Amino acid sequence: MAARSEEGDPIAEYPLPKVTQSPFAVGLLQQPAAMEQLLDEIPVGVVLLDSDRNIVFFNRAVQSLTGHSRQEACGLPCMYIVRSRACDRSCPVAGLTADSEAVSMETDIVNRQRRKISVRVTAAPLTDLDGNLVGYIESIEDIQILKKLDKQLGRDPSFENIIGQSPAMQKVFDILPVIARSDSSVLITGETGTGKDLAAEAIHNASERAAGSFIKVNCGALPETLMESELFGHVKGAFTGAVENKPGRFKLAHNGTLYLTEIGDLPLQSQVKLLVFLDDRIIFPVGGVKGASVNVRVIAATHRNLEAMAEQGQFREDLLFRLNVVIVQIPPLRERGDDVLLLMDHFLAAMAERLHKRIAGFSAEARALLAGYEYPGNVRELRNVVEYAANVCEGSRIAVRHLPTYLTQASPRPVERAGRTDRPESVQPPGSPPLERKEETWAAAERRLIMEALIKAGGRRAHAAELLGWGRSTLWRKIRKYGIDDDEQGES
């Protein structure tokens, strides 16, 4: 059918593109429906374009956004009506083919009254019944109200899950919005438990890819034999058990962000294919001969020294150069000053609410002990410690007796925090080890902490890792490092 203007006149002789019908869309209605009326009822702007990107039709919501009538817009190039800063350099329709997936982005448009409006644009191809490209469809969503609300609240909600006020964290807060505006690859470094995952998600949420998917892949959690298939997908019959095509994580992250945590554990063969993608933006599924173009930003994270691994041949140097275009260093908790106290109170409030307990805070002794501990597991370990204490506490304040045993059996060293020195060793709970324990080497102390955690967990390594605030792969690696076998730890 031909679209009609509000006055009832046909809009030129441009027929609306015919949308491909799936088997599930046949026979839904007994009689043909008026497409114009249907699209006008949608509160989000909808624009239909022909294969040359000329406007065929748009609904009432687009008229309100742009100030242009359908009659005057019909037949004109889209960029003359939906005037956006993305039209010249990053048009969402440019490059779409008949088998392309939808593309989404945040941008601005300038309406007829020369007013700039923040919008989210999503574009997809339209095909005929034979799968041939006949046009495009764009949805335009007004998001200026959300932008104003964020400004009124005086904060960026993209970073609300990252807690900290120290100078070290302020540097991170300052650089994250700058990185989010870019589309370059990012490498996030830092010790285990520092919050690299939160930083990666914050970058995604503050970027123009926020409407797309944020796909996380732990490179150390998947077997090497499955890693390539998980990342790049596979075609049917590529290997035993491949009974159907699988898209892979890159495909799932199209128009969004792929977050590769523990990138140092990525097998060398997969490193080669990742390098190919970063160079050409094309992925090749396992067993396939045809590459597929995907629009994905890659954020990688590691707690390992990739430079040293590259020197030892364990990590490709050329891949390292492609990943560390932008580097974000997340500081360890021991270098974040009074953020420890801030995080303690934050975690306790969250745990008390979740457990329906009225816990007002920490005793002076418990607060001093927690403030002086160095937290090899960083923020994750502190959160686990507070969660444990909140579970066992039956009173109104968390005391030393409510803290995990491995904390009360160690003598923490003075820690410099915001220009002062806390000396929690002056508060020694009963049963503390003798002073000569301070001469114990770090390796011996870490081995002892692992043994105590395993004993307390009854030999269950997953539970022991939670008590230590570590990931399970970290605990297993240290168990091998210190030669702790099953005879020592009991059944695991």
- Looking at residue 151, its pLDDT comes to 53
Intrachain domains 2-146 and 158-329 with the same fold: no
Torsions phi, psi of 206, nearest 5?
-90, 0
Give me the tens of pLDDT residue by residue for the chain, a chain 492 residues long. Answer: 444 444 444 444 445 454 444 444 555 666 776 777 788 888 888 999 998 989 999 888 888 888 888 888 888 988 888 888 777 666 878 878 888 777 777 788 888 878 888 888 888 899 888 888 999 999 888 877 766 655 554 444 446 578 888 999 999 998 998 999 888 999 999 999 999 999 999 999 888 888 888 999 999 888 877 888 889 988 888 787 777 888 889 988 988 999 999 999 998 888 998 998 999 888 888 888 888 888 999 999 999 999 999 999 999 999 999 998 899 999 999 999 989 999 999 899 889 988 999 898 899 999 999 998 999 999 999 999 999 999 999 888 999 999 998 887 754 444 444 434 343 333 333 333 443 433 456 677 778 888 888 888 777 888 888 777 777 777 887 887 787 864 444 433
E-state strands within 186-296:
186-189, 214-218, 257-261, 282-283, 292-293
State the Cα angle at 351 between 446 and 220, rounded to 5°.
45
> Across-strand partners of 178?
none
HEC assignment per residue over 43-79: CCEEEEEECCCEEEEECHHHHHHHCCCHHHHCCCEHH
Torsions phi, psi of 443, nearest 5?
-60, -45
- Looking at residue 88, its pLDDT comes to 67
- Looking at residue 190, its pLDDT comes to 94
Which overall architecture, per CATH, does domain 2-146 show? 2-Layer Sandwich (3.30)
- Looking at residue 107, its pLDDT comes to 81
State the Cα angle at 97 between 93 and 100, rounded to 5°.
85
- Looking at residue 375, its pLDDT comes to 92
> Dihedral of the CA atoms 244, 247, 248, 249 (nearest 10)?
-150
Cα distance between residue 64 and residue 115, in whole Å: 12
In terms of DSSP H, where are the helices of 325-471? 339-355, 364-372, 378-392, 405-408, 442-456, 461-468
Number of other residues whose CB lies within 10 A of the CB of residue 200: 23
Per domain, the residue ranges of the chain are 2-146, 158-329, 336-489
- Looking at residue 146, its pLDDT comes to 66
Cα distance between residue 34 and residue 444, in whole Å: 77
Q: What class, spelled out in words, does domain 158-329 have in CATH? A: alpha beta
Which overall architecture, per CATH, does domain 336-489 show? Orthogonal Bundle (1.10)
Strands 257-261 and 297-302: parallel
